[in-house]
Amino acid sequence: MPRPRKVVVTQRFFDERTQAYLRAHNCDVEIASLPVGKADGDLDHDTLVQMLTGAGGWIVGHARVTRPLLEALPDLQIISRRGVGYERVDLEAARDLGRVVAIAAGGNDASVADHVIGLMLAVGRRFRETQQRMLDGDWSILMGSDLCEKTVGVVGLGRIGKSVVKRLLAFDCRVLVHTARPDNAYAAATGVEYVSLADLLVRSDYVTLHAPLTPQTRFMIDEAAIATMKPGAFLINTARGGLVEDAHLLEALKTGRLGGAGLDVYVSESDPAYKPISQALLALPNVVGTPHSGASSREGLDRTNMVAARAVVAVLDGDDPAPECVVADGRPGR
């Protein structure tokens, strides 16, 4: 039997079933030991090189995959993200150096969509404020807002955006969608209405973001955008920190311009200077925050683990991963 291929996983919660799948396909699985309270995005270049030397496959979370890192790892054939974002990966370098970059497309759609609805209900019905008052001995009733029959603006209509729409329709919501690629057949089947971002912000009771982070979308929700939103509207961001200018959001929430926010991502994840802003947001009674955990249900992680692992095995075997998972392929002839 050929020598097992080394596959390094720099993520927690990597289930035994997926490990067994990799081992059954002649892979030697190494789960990195991460410092308490740290993720692979906190690991420096030298630490990553030490962990990954000799690996053919890397199942990665939020580590920065740079050209110098790839150059230091000549055996590494595939970088497989347990997730769907890839803005921390230098795709040009990966192509230049003959590597494959894959994402776990479809693995966490349901988990993130459930999380979005949970945040909408939590901020609309003021769960956090109510429980804190009860803990303080005040059992008086705070009036919240229904999600049922509200107008909800969905910015971005990829797999997760469509999963959110599916759930919103069960709440009898009117759904407005802003997307670069309108699908008329989808609109006819679901009843969603395609609109401009400006129109969506003006009309929506809830706005939920599902766009990628690009130079064009960075701070798409800033002071000017917030000023056009309905007074008392709710903003949900489970997509990427940087879509929202968190400093401007903080001011809008403190002044009551917006009714509340449900946040799973923050600018401070990539810019430490924003850490005080994130802390101030989380301290507000009308904010429900989670630590970029929208995809982190047991079921969701199991699914994304397996999708990421299948991509690794395909590349190490000389085959092609599922097309929807490939974001860069620098192998000759690909």
- Sequence length of the chain is 334
Q: First CA to last CA across the chain, in angstroms?
A: 28
Catalytic residue among 5, 210, 292, 310: 292
Annotation says 240 is catalytic = yes
Pair 330, 92: CB distance under 8 Å: no
**Coil vs helix vs strand at 175:** strand
Annotation says 292 is catalytic = yes
Annotation says 181 is catalytic = no
Query: What DSSP line would sit under 188-225, residue for residue?
Result: HHH--EE--HHHHHHH-SEEEE-----TTTTTSBSHHH
Neighbouring C-alpha atoms within 13 Å toward the C-beta of 301 = 15
Pair 156, 210: CB distance under 8 Å: yes
- Please report, for residues 48, 234, 266, the alpha-carbon distance to residue 259 in angstroms, rounded to integers and kept in the order given: 43, 5, 19
Handedness of CA 87, 209, 275, 291 (dihedral sign): negative
Strands 100-102 and 260-263 turn out to be: unpaired
Long-range Cβ contacts of 26-29 (<8 Å, 24+ apart): 26/1, 26/2, 27/57, 27/312, 27/313, 27/316, 28/4
Strands 326-329 and 100-102 turn out to be: antiparallel
Pair 102, 78: CB distance under 8 Å: yes
Catalytic residue among 240, 257, 303, 310: 240
Pair 234, 124: CB distance under 8 Å: yes
Catalytic residue among 193, 223, 251, 269: 269
Pair 314, 331: CB distance under 8 Å: no
Q: Which residues are catalytic?
A: 240, 269, 292
